[in-house]
Amino acid sequence: MSELNQKAVAKYQNNFLKEVEERVEDGEWVSMCMQCGVCAGSCPLGPHWEHSPQKIFRMIMAGKRDEVLTSDSVWMCTSCYSCIVRCPRKLPITHIMHGIAHYAHRLGVAPKGQPTRELASVFWKNLVKTGRVNELKFSLAVYFKDGFSQGIKNLLGMQGIALGLVKAKRLNPMEIIGGHKCKDVGGIQKMLAKAKEIEDRRQGYTS
């Protein structure tokens, strides 16, 4: 955790719940969980998580800061919204999961090499460059994230699908050079930088 981050969270001492309530998007809902377990039972990915949303909420209340923020589980949410639909206490569970993931990422404590996190990072970088997602470059960046030889293997594995997409005019090989972009790339980038600045200030990451 960076020094600024440490400073920002220092005031919460042992009260992780309060930290979540104040700093995680929709975090103020966590304390309304009544531990019924409907979210855990509804989650289609349930068996593949280490911690169900129910457990994540309980861990937050029990002050298990490190376990929550480094948990792989919050990254596993596919946003199917089954939990939100079914929660008897109307907690926006999907949003809270994303909120926690985002918060852990911003603190720099999210699990390294977590595929969802890496994919999201690549996606974001790709997007802010031109204001448009360049699918070809995005796919290549994902394939080659684990080195050159793995990248070639990934490419060969996907070539059938890629050729099909080209044939169906869903993938333009020319995108590799420059690619399409929005009208005012500079404007978009400035806008995003400003938004980040505002958020960082609000969250206390910058003074």
- Please give the residue ranges that form the binding site for other proteins (CB under 8 A): 17, 31-32, 34-35, 54-55, 58-59, 61-62, 64, 89
Q: Residue 64 Cβ, how far from other proteins at the closest point, in Å?
A: 8
Residue with smaller CB distance to other proteins, 58 or 106: 58
- H helices of 11-114, in order, are 16-23, 38-42, 53-61, 65-69, 82-86, 93-107
Encoding tokens for residue 101?
Answer: 């993931």
Encode burial over 46-84: b for 16+ CB neighbours within 10 A, e otherwise: eeebebbbbbbbbbbeebbbebbbebbbbbbbeeeebbb
Q: Residue 47 Cβ, how far from other proteins at the closest point, in Å?
A: 16
Q: Residue 102 Cβ, how far from other proteins at the closest point, in Å?
A: 24
Q: Residue 164 Cβ, how far from other proteins at the closest point, in Å?
A: 47
Residue with smaller CB distance to other proteins, 67 or 135: 67
How far, in Å, CA of 69 to CA of 111, rounded? 8
Residue with smaller CB distance to other proteins, 47 or 186: 47
Would you give the distance in Å from CA 182 to the centre of its chain? 24
Q: Residue 27 Cβ, how far from other proteins at the closest point, in Å?
A: 13
Residue with smaller CB distance to other proteins, 97 or 188: 97
Residue with smaller CB distance to other proteins, 40 or 104: 40
Q: Which helix (H) or strand (E) holds 196?
A: helix 185-203
